[in-house]
Amino acid sequence: MSEAAASHMTDRRELTAAQRNAVAELLRVSPVADELGRRFAAAGHELHLVGGSVRDALLGRLGEDLDFCTDAHPDQTLGIVRGWAEAIWETGREFGTIGCQRDGLRLEITTFRAESYDQVSRNPVVEYGTSLTEDLRRRDFTINAMAVSLPEHRFTDPYGGLADLAAKVVRTPGTPAESFGDDPLRMLRAARFAAQLRFAVHPDAHAAMNRMAADLDRITAERIRDEFTKLLTGADPITGLRLLVDTGLAERFLPELTGLKLEIDEHAQHKDVYEHTLTVVRNAMSYEQDGPDFILRMAALMHDIGKPATKSVGPDGRVSFHHHEVVGARLTKTRMKALRYPKDVTGKVTALVALHLRFYGYGRGEWTDSAVRRYVTDAGDLLSRLHKLTRSDCTTRNRRKAAQLAADYDALEERIARIAADEDLARVRPDLDGNAIMELLGVPPGPIVGRAWKHLKDLRLERGPLDRDTAEAELLRWARDEGLRD
């Protein structure tokens, strides 16, 4: 049998499996979907399950959110679902979308669209279309341009989406230039689907992404952020990240990632910092227990972005990146702020980048219990992620060195556990609270109390728990040194 014939038979088997998955998934939701289809038909309108819902049904993983398109306009759709839907929302009405809920399923019903962009505006210009085929052509990729008509379950695939699904290819229904010109975010979405589905981007689409990367500048930071977050939390973010760098898309919104390709990692001369970073992201994923952890993955991605700005070459020719974690934390904060990430998410990622090198002095045996307490206190509720990030950062091929680093970190975690057994390291507080400080020093609430509280906390970190008498004596000694008491 020829290689081509064998490949064709494999595709046929995969298509058959996909079709079986679709039947099983659609039967699960068909009581609601078919009932809705009958309501639209009775009102003289079409209804089709479309987009990601059909794709996911074919992949055997249809969720609780279903997407439909129709020739009915929003007012007509509202008239059809009122009295049937358990809840209705109109937040997408300006784009022709009416949302509703029935039997635990969330349904979004959108009027056929011939949507386009004016090549300058950041927002779509919505025009209602007149046919299913026209609506499917304006969708991003062929795997999202399939439809199942309801209630008769007629399958429509004018652009070969089923074959592309079997071949695991991301391809546009029309020309890539036309599709990406309408909505440049689709270039980033192509990389996202490659990461989520482990699909390859069609060569024509890949070439267009290279040519048109600068068009991404027309897209708002929030839309880019949302697509990038989905990419980074996908099943294979490394493939997606490589696509962003190779096509020039990363340069438009995350140029620090591209910049890593030029730097050599001093810990592993056999690979540059870019390759090291991708390895750290992959390593971090192996420590996830409850699904993708965006904060951990983003910290892994950004942990070394301070290296280009701190690179220096010593007299002996050795490359160093002193304080790159400090510079990296600052760059991370700036970049995530530009992408409109929430402050709490940005703060956590930035803190992990700033702390990721702290461990490397531990193996020399220089850490006191005070240093361990500060490590735990500075990490706070990020300690578990910091453990994972630090372990992930070991990418050396030197087995002896890797084993020593792992053993050192095992020892640190054991030491943290021992100290934590005697002290509440998760909530280190001074041995005297604010009320006790004010009473002992005879001062009202104000800056003096805060300074005294900080002094006692530092003392607690340095020496561990103090009894009441010792804590009071230390506070009075501090007050005298500060000139607050005779």
- In this structure, the answer to whether residues 408 and 474 fall within a common structural domain is no
- pLDDT, residue 188, reads 98
Q: How far apart are the first and last CA of the chain?
A: 99
- In this structure, the answer to whether residues 200 and 290 fall within a common structural domain is no
- In this structure, the answer to whether residues 207 and 95 fall within a common structural domain is no
Residues 6+ apart with CB under 8 A from 326: 306, 354
* CA atoms 295, 274, 376, 450: torsion sign: negative
Q: The tokens 């910092």 sit on which residue?
A: 273
Q: What CATH number does residue 266 fall under?
A: 1.10.3210
- In this structure, the answer to whether residues 339 and 389 fall within a common structural domain is yes
Strand partners, 48: 69, 149
Q: 391, 287 in Cβ contact below 8 A?
A: yes
Choose the final residue of a domain: 385, 408, 426: 426
User: Which of 141, 250, 136 has its CA nearest to residue 193?
Assistant: 141
DSSP notation for 167-183 = HTEE--SS-HHHHHHH-
Q: 306, 331 in Cβ contact below 8 A?
A: yes
**Using alpha carbons only, how large is the chain's radius of gyration in Å?**
29
Give the 3-state secondary structure of residue 441. helix
Task: Note down the domain range covering 98.
Answer: 3-167
- In this structure, the answer to whether residues 274 and 209 fall within a common structural domain is no
- pLDDT, residue 10, reads 40
- In this structure, the answer to whether residues 288 and 237 fall within a common structural domain is no
- In this structure, the answer to whether residues 307 and 407 fall within a common structural domain is yes
Give the 3-state secondary structure of residue 108. strand
Phi/psi region, residue 466 (left: phi>0; alpha: psi -120 to 50; beta: rest), is beta
DSSP notation for 226-280 = HHHHHHHTSS-HHHHHHHHHHHT-HHHH-HHHHHGGG-B-TT-TTSBHHHHHHHH
Residues 6+ apart with CB under 8 A from 13: none
Number of domains in the chain: 4
| Residues in the chain, overall count | 486
Q: What is the pLDDT along the chain (486 residues), one digit of tens a residue?
A: 333 333 333 444 555 666 666 666 676 777 899 999 999 999 999 999 999 999 988 887 888 899 999 999 999 999 999 999 999 999 989 889 999 999 999 999 999 987 555 555 545 566 788 899 999 998 999 999 999 999 988 889 999 999 999 899 999 999 999 999 989 999 999 999 999 999 999 999 999 999 999 999 999 999 999 999 999 999 999 999 999 999 999 999 999 999 998 655 555 444 588 999 999 999 999 999 989 999 999 999 999 999 887 777 777 767 767 778 889 999 999 999 999 999 999 999 999 999 988 877 665 666 777 777 778 888 888 989 999 999 898 887 778 877 877 888 888 888 888 776 655 555 556 656 777 777 777 778 878 877 877 777 777 766 767 777 777 777 777 777 777 766
- In this structure, the answer to whether residues 465 and 419 fall within a common structural domain is no
* In a domain? residue 439: yes
- pLDDT, residue 6, reads 37
- In this structure, the answer to whether residues 372 and 226 fall within a common structural domain is no
* In a domain? residue 486: no
- pLDDT, residue 4, reads 38
- In this structure, the answer to whether residues 19 and 120 fall within a common structural domain is yes
Give the 3-state secondary structure of residue 323. coil
- In this structure, the answer to whether residues 115 and 178 fall within a common structural domain is no
Cα-to-chain-centroid distance, residue 181: 26
Residues 6+ apart with CB under 8 A from 92: 98, 99, 108, 110
Cα-to-chain-centroid distance, residue 391: 20
- In this structure, the answer to whether residues 394 and 445 fall within a common structural domain is no
Measured CA to CA, the distance from residue 46 to residue 198 in angstroms comes to 34
